[in-house]
Amino acid sequence: MKIDYQDYGAIARLTVKSSIIRLQKHKRIVDTALLVADVTEHTTGVLVIHSVITGKTPAVMRAYKAVMREASR
C-alpha cells in the first residue's frame, strides 16, 4: 500500500494505491478518511486500486493523519 500527500496551497491531495489483495484494508482506510474530514474521493482501477482524496488543506491533513493511523493497524 502506498500513501502520498501533496499540498497545493489552498487545496491538497491524498493518494492511496494498493493491490486487489488488500482491497478490504484499502476500503477501510478510504472510509476512515471520509468520516474524519470533509473531503471528496474518487476511486479507479481493477487490479491496482487508486483512490484520490481531495479537499481543503486542513481537512486533507486530518484525513492523512487518520489514514496513517488506520494503515498501521
CATH number of the domain at 17, please. 3.30.70.1710
* Nine-digit cell string for 58: 486542513
Q: What angle do CA 47, 49, 54 make, to 5 degrees?
A: 165
pLDDT on residue 61: 95
Parent domain of 60: 2-71
> What is the average pLDDT value for the chain, to the nearest integer?
94
Q: If pLDDT is split at 50, 70 and 90, which confidence band does 60 have?
A: very high
User: Global pTM?
Assistant: 0.89
Question: Structural domain tally of the chain?
Answer: 1
pLDDT tens by residue, 22-43: 999 999 999 999 999 999 999 9
Which residues have C-beta within 8 Å of that of residue 14, sequence separation ≥ 6?
3, 4, 5, 6, 33, 39, 52, 53, 54, 60, 63, 64, 67
